[in-house]
Amino acid sequence: MTTPELPQKAINCVRASDLGKTNICLSNYGVKCILSEKPGFLPEEVEAVRNTVMKNGTTIYIAYNRRFYASVFAAEKIIKEDGGLLSFNFEFTEWAHVIEASTSIPEIEKNNLFITNSTHVVDLAFFLGGEPKEMVCFQEGSVGWHTPSSFVGSGITDNGALFSYLANWNAPGRWAVELLTAKHRIYLKPMEQLQLQDKGSVKVYPLDIDDRLDREFKPGFYLETKAFLEEDDTRLCTIEQQARRVDTIYRKIIGR
C-alpha cells in the first residue's frame, strides 16, 4: 500500500454522504487545513468529526461559496452605507419533484437534503444578518423521502435584526434572500444577481456589479479558494461554527 505525500492543505469535494468520513481520514492522516464541501458532515457525524479535528489540531472550513458572490459583497456595501440592516427574510424551497426523480442522489442525502443543500441559503442569510438570538420554528408535511417538507419561522439576531423565513417543498418556489435597510430593499433572487427597491418606490431594478470572476468561474469559487489558500478566515465558515449551527439552528429549523 502506498503512502501519498502529505499535503499542507486539501480540498474535500466528495459527495455529501462521504464528507464526514473523508474529513476524519484526512485529519487522521495529518492534513492540517481542509476546505470541505458543505455541509462537512451529516448530522449524526457531528461529534465524531468535531472530536477528531480537535484531537489532531485540524482546521476545517465549510465551502459556503455564496458568501463570496459579487452580489453579496455589493449588498454588504449598500447595507453599510444605509446605516445597517433592519430586517431580512429568506426562502429555501427545494424542487422536490426534481429530487424525487433523481437516481444519482442516495437516499441518505435525500433524507438530509435540508443540511446538505438548503443550508446554503440559511448560512448566507445569517452571515449577512447575524446569528439568531431568539427563534421560533414550525414544520409540517412530508415529501416521502424527507420529513418535514414545509417550514416557517421568525426571530431576532444578535445584531438586532428581525428575520423570518419560509419554504414549502410541495409548492413552487426558489431560493431567495431579501434584506431591508432604512433606504432600500435588497433582493438576492436569484442570489447571483442583485436587485434594489428604493424607499418611496415600488420599482425593482437590477444593479450593475463587477461579477467578472463569478462569470469566469463557478460563482464564488475563485475568491473562496483564494481565501482558503491564503488562510484568510474573515468570510469562511469554520467547522466549529458549522457544528454549533447544526446543534442550535439547523436542528431547530428542521424539527429533528
Task: Write out pLDDT tens, residues 8-20.
Answer: 999 999 999 999 9
In a domain, 40, yes or no: no
- How many helices (DSSP H) and strands (DSSP E) are in the chain? 11, 12
What range does the domain containing 210 cover?
Answer: 68-217
pLDDT at 1 over 70: no
Retrieve residue 14's grid coordinates: 466528495
29, 7 in Cβ contact below 8 A?
no
In a domain, 181, yes or no: yes
What is the number of other CB atoms lying within 10 angstroms of the CB of residue 184? 19
In a domain, 116, yes or no: yes
In a domain, 180, yes or no: yes
Pairing of strands 9-12, 33-37: parallel
In a domain, 229, yes or no: no
In a domain, 242, yes or no: no
Total domains in the chain come to: 1
**At 207, which CATH number?**
3.30.360.10
In a domain, 255, yes or no: no
pLDDT at 114 over 80: yes
Q: What is the pLDDT of residue 5?
A: 87
In a domain, 152, yes or no: yes
What pLDDT, in 10s, does the model give residues 188-202? 999 999 999 999 999
Cis upstream peptide for 206 (omega within 30°) = no
